[in-house]
Chain A
Amino acid sequence: LAKTTQPISMDSYEGQEVNITCSHNNIATNDYITWYQQFPSQGPRFIIQGYKTKVTNEVASLFIPADRKSSTLSLPRVSLSDTAVYYCLVGDGDSGAGSYQLTFGKGTKLSVIP
């Protein structure tokens, strides 16, 4: 089971780019890397997913180095509404046993300051 490590918290000013790094040293060959965002009183919401190199969508970018032992979520020009907890999740590849490895870590609490 790939364990993930993220910073507990981060602060950023509005308009800045925020990079949150997640370590996952024992990621398996078939594992994907997925990031979720959670606001208070809501369930986590999918942001972005990748396997290797770089993925970009309308919300964020995900950078994954060649060894895949870490990944970085990049949020461009954050606003106050981006204040939330961000989770890195590793797993979900077809392990052949029909099982998912979908365990959340502690997440990173991002606070955006005006």
Chain B
Amino acid sequence: DAGVIQSPRHEVTEMGQEVTLRCKPISGHNSLFWYRQTMMRGLELLIYFNNNVPIDDSGMPEDRFSAKMPNASFSTLKIQPSEPRDSAVYFCASKRGFNSPLHFGNGTRLTVT
């Protein structure tokens, strides 16, 4: 089992640029979550999908953030335009269903200068 795969591992970009983070969940998992982690705010849930359908995006900070899950094996989180305050580690996680644990990827460390 390859686990949850995120890319890129690190991303450095300038303010105003578009950033796309990618996630491949574990095969057979039907729920996918995007989290953001900073020292100040800890782990924040941004959005999650069940069976490729977005269920709750109330954690998405602004309209600059968008997420898609075109199929069961791929999801993207896009920030356009990016700002320095978006700098954080972004984690993707997947799970099989209710009462099963989350499996996290190793995250993407985003730095916006």
Tell yes or no: A34 within 8 A of B by CB: yes
Q: Please give, as numbers and ranges, the residues of chain B lying within 8 Å of A25 by CB-CB distance.
A: none
The residue from B31, B43, B98, B107 contacting A93, defined by CB atoms under 8 A apart: B98
Q: Please give, as numbers and ranges, the residues of chain B lying within 8 Å of A100 by CB-CB distance.
A: 31, 48, 55-56, 98
The residue from A43, A105, A106 contacting B105, defined by CB atoms under 8 A apart: A43
Task: Kindly specify which of A44-52, A63-71, A72-80 makes contact with the partner chain.
Answer: A44-52
Interface size class of B (residues with CB under 8 A): 20 to 34
The answer to whether A106 and B42 touch (CB under 8 A), given A42-B107, A43-B91, is yes
Instruction: Give the total number of A-B pairs whose CB atoms are below 8 A apart.
Output: 56
Q: Please give, as numbers and ranges, the residues of chain A lying within 8 Å of B35 by CB-CB distance.
A: 104
Interface size class of A (residues with CB under 8 A): 20 to 34
Q: Please give, as numbers and ranges, the residues of chain A lying within 8 Å of B77 by CB-CB distance.
A: none
Contact check, B33 vs A92: say whether CB atoms are below 8 A apart: no
Q: Please give, as numbers and ranges, the residues of chain A lying within 8 Å of B93 by CB-CB distance.
A: 43
Q: Please give, as numbers and ranges, the residues of chain A lying within 8 Å of B102 by CB-CB distance.
A: 34, 36, 44, 46, 102
Residues of A whose CB lies within 8 Å of any CB of B are: 32, 34, 36, 41-46, 49, 87, 92-94, 98-100, 102-107
A-B contact pairs, 5 of them (CB 8 A): A43-B91, A49-B99, A49-B101, A99-B55, A100-B55
- 6 A-B pairs with least C-beta separation: A43-B104, A46-B101, A104-B43, A94-B98, A43-B91, A32-B99
Residues of B whose CB lies within 8 Å of any CB of A are: 4, 31, 33, 35, 42-43, 45, 48, 50, 55-56, 91, 93, 98-107
